[in-house]
Amino acid sequence: ARELTQNPLQKTWEPYDNGLPAGHSAQRGVCMTNCPTLIVMVGLPARGKTYISKKLTRYLNWIGVPTKEFNVGQYRRDLVKKYKSFEFFLPDNEEGLKIRKQCALAALNDVRQYLSEENGHVAVFDATNTTRERRETIYKFGEENGYKTFFVESVCVDPEVIAANIVQVKLGSPDYVDCSNDEATEDFMKRIECYKNSYETLDETLDKDLSYIKIMDVGRSYLVNRVMDHIQSRIVYYLMNIHVTPRSIYLCRHGESELNLKGRIGGDPGLSVRGKEFAKSLAQFINEQNIKDLKVWTSQMKRTIQTAEALGVPYEQWKVLNEIDAGVCEEMTYEEIQENYPLEFALRDQDKYRYRYPKGESYEDLVQRLEPVIMELERQENVLVICHQAVMRCLLAYFLDKPAEQLPYLKCPLHTVLKLTPVAYGCKVESIFLNVEAVNTHRDKPENVDISRPPEEALVTVPAHQ
């Protein structure tokens, strides 16, 4: 007889048959609304497929959708330790074909493991997948396993875009460690030619039943076909917002506030004397950086607006950039929270990402609230965001691909600017302290998170304050 058992962590009820989990609906070949999604990249080499895969994976994980990418090129490198030349990719190289097929199957096997056994929601299958036959095989694989398949094709005809892709990514590839740049470029161009003859692009008529987005010249235009559900529409929405123009994003907190000095959280205080000093230093720093068309964003809180005022440039206020709402704990010190709400304080230490202040917010809520900011940051070029500790942690976790468990403990000190510059597949971070002292507001997770802990063990990591 089937019984229901609750998974205490995920708060989900699951049917059990004779003490064992009852089969997942997908294993019975039924495609439910909420079934896993298989994203399949399509396109010639050096078209930004891996860039898109990594970025999409990072975004979906950040919004709370468990996602993993499977790069078939990496499977090949693991199998064939030494790359010799483009000849491996020739259509009549039987050994090469055999190895490439073997790698694709190994990757699909891992996709199945991840989506059907490990509770993954989205898998990104990153390979060229340039023939209709190969895509048909993958589509059938998805159908057999109860996944929805969504294709993402990147088409580039602009020679400048292709050249930039080759320089940025392929020259740093493990395939070309022992080559000069010219040798690598020449070999890689020949590798692209190997695929060109058999390349069949997604076609409005022939592929009318497939779900896909086709991206032309990194976002010059798009073709979207048969979007089947919420997750596919989120993917399309995201992919239509990203670009590859070089730029930098500057993140910093407001200057030190009156409540920071007193160790109190939240509230809407003004800047301290040192906070005002920082605002002047920030203006000087931004001036010296000589940034083209810089946009400045703040929250709607007094301390970020006062910081931006010193810059003497136009700025925009965003309500969604306001600090995390601490609910009943607003304007309290950690000592007061421990005294008045010891249970809440312990529960927050046990799971800081998901814990929600009574009548307030959690970091998880904050990530949902900040999604429009991420979309807009992806669209923009140079931006300075003057925000708050919890908000900055969420934004930083997105750009640096940090998991939810680490997010609430990322260090975002006062009076320090973080300059983020997107590079090939990630983000370069420079931390610039502007030489104006400020209090430390970072509280690490204490060792004892038990609800019956003594107060001194709860307060051991609280930073010093007035």
What is the pLDDT confidence band of residue 257, given thresholds at 50, 70 and 90?
A: very high
- Give the mean pLDDT of 285-301: 97
For 361-385, write each residue's pLDDT tens digit.
Answer: 999 999 999 999 999 999 999 999 9
pLDDT of residue 167: 84
Helix, strand or coil, per DSSP, at residue 330 = coil
Average model confidence (pLDDT) for the chain? 94
Asked if the model's pLDDT at residue 457 lies above 80, the reply is yes
Nearest to residue 404, comparing CAs of 34, 118, 66? 66
What is the pLDDT confidence band of residue 27, given thresholds at 50, 70 and 90?
A: very low
Is there a contact between 47 and 154 (Cβ–Cβ < 8 Å)?
Answer: yes
pLDDT: which is higher, 158 or 462? 462
- Give the mean pLDDT of 272-291: 98
Place of tokens 């998880």: 364
- Give the mean pLDDT of 161-167: 86
pTM of the full structure: 0.92
pLDDT of residue 17: 75
- Give the mean pLDDT of 439-446: 98
Nearest to residue 367, comparing CAs of 381, 380, 379, 352? 352
- Give the mean pLDDT of 100-127: 97
* Alpha-carbon 137 to chain mean position: 29
Helix, strand or coil, per DSSP, at residue 186 = helix
Q: Is the dihedral of CA 213, 214, 217, 222 positive or negative?
A: negative
Average the pLDDT over each of 119-128, 171-180, 260-269, 436-445 and give the range with the smallest value: 171-180
Catalytic residue among 69, 121, 153, 254: 254
Asked if the model's pLDDT at residue 328 lies above 80, the reply is yes
pLDDT of residue 176: 87
Tell me the C-alpha distance between 82 and 176, whole Å: 10
pLDDT of residue 26: 42
Tell me the C-alpha distance between 227 and 104, whole Å: 26
Q: Is the dihedral of CA 303, 309, 313, 315 positive or negative?
A: positive
Token digits for 99?
A: 């190895």
User: Can 336 be counted among the known catalytic residues?
Assistant: no
Share of the chain above pLDDT 90, in %: 83
Tell me the C-alpha distance between 199 and 429, whole Å: 38
Place of tokens 């930073």: 463
Asked if the model's pLDDT at residue 28 lies above 60, the reply is no
- Give the mean pLDDT of 225-234: 97
Tell me the C-alpha distance between 454 and 457, whole Å: 6
What is the pLDDT confidence band of residue 406, given thresholds at 50, 70 and 90?
A: very high
Q: What are phi and psi of 389, to 5 degrees?
A: -55, -55
- Which residues are documented as binding site? 253-260, 303
Asked if the model's pLDDT at residue 41 lies above 90, the reply is yes
∠ Cα 413 418 419 (to 5°): 175
- Give the mean pLDDT of 337-360: 97
Domains and CATH numbers, the chain: 27-239 (3.40.50.300), 249-458 (3.40.50.1240)
Token digits for 68?
A: 């993993």
pLDDT of residue 31: 55
User: Can 254 be counted among the known catalytic residues?
Assistant: yes
What is the pLDDT confidence band of residue 29, given thresholds at 50, 70 and 90?
A: very low
pLDDT of residue 367: 98
What is the pLDDT confidence band of residue 156, given thresholds at 50, 70 and 90?
A: very high
- Which residues are documented as binding site for substrate? 253-260, 303
Place of tokens 């994003």: 249
For 89-101, write each residue's pLDDT tens digit.
Answer: 999 999 999 999 9
CB burial class (10 A; 0-12, 13-18, 19+) of residue 150? buried
Catalytic residue among 323, 361, 364, 371: 323
Question: How many angstroms separate the first and last alpha carbons of the chain?
Answer: 63
